[in-house]
């Protein structure tokens, strides 16, 4: 019946930062907002004929500070769109012959929302606005 000093053993498998990121991903169900997403936009070409233009678009977006994934694989475009949609990327830009010739991109937002064809400047403005407002 004497007083003893309690001893507590503590072990954390995951640190506080990792725990925070895990909770954040869980709360958003993997669909992180644009400003927080590791990859903000994927650029997809339909065929090899648009590869150079797709690279220029990707470089332009990277210069603007966006995190871009360039997918130039020789796969069907529906397969590429499906693959990136499952990854819950905020935006997907598809480039075909029409887009290349008109200096535009066909944009889809998360959830297969078709935003239509837009000039690159308009896409950059839209992305910057969304990042700045943390929408």
Average confidence (pLDDT) per 10 residues, the chain, 135 residues: 85 79 89 94 96 97 97 95 95 97 96 94 96 87
Sheet containing 104-109, strands listed edge to edge, beginning at the edge strand earlier in sequence: 68-71, 41-45, 91-95, 104-109, 113-119
**Rounded Cα distance, 127 and 57, in Å:** 14
* 91 touches 108 (CB < 8 A): yes
| pLDDT confidence of residue 12 | 72
| pLDDT confidence of residue 18 | 86
Phi/psi at 23 (5° precision): -65, -40
| pLDDT confidence of residue 121 | 96
| pLDDT confidence of residue 135 | 67
**Beta strands per DSSP E along the chain:** 41-45, 68-71, 91-95, 104-109, 113-119
The domains of the chain, with CATH numbers, are: 32-133 (3.40.50.800)
| pLDDT confidence of residue 6 | 87
| pLDDT confidence of residue 94 | 97
């Amino acid at each position: 019946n004497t007083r003893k000093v309690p001893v507590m053993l503590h072990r954390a498998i995951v640190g506080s930062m990792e725990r925070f990121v895990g909770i954040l991903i869980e709360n958003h169900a993997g669909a992180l907002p644009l400003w927080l997403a590791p990859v903000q936009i994927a650029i997809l070409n339909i065929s090899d004929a648009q590869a150079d233009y797709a690279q220029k678009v990707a470089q332009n977006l990277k210069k603007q500070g966006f995190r871009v994934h360039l997918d130039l694989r020789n796969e069907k475009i529906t397969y590429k769109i499906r693959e990136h949609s499952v990854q819950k990327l905020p935006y997907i830009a598809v480039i075909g012959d029409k887009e290349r010739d008109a200096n535009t991109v066909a944009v889809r937002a998360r959830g297969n929302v078709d935003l239509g064809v837009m000039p690159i400047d308009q896409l950059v403005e839209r992305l910057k606005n969304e990042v700045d407002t943390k929408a």
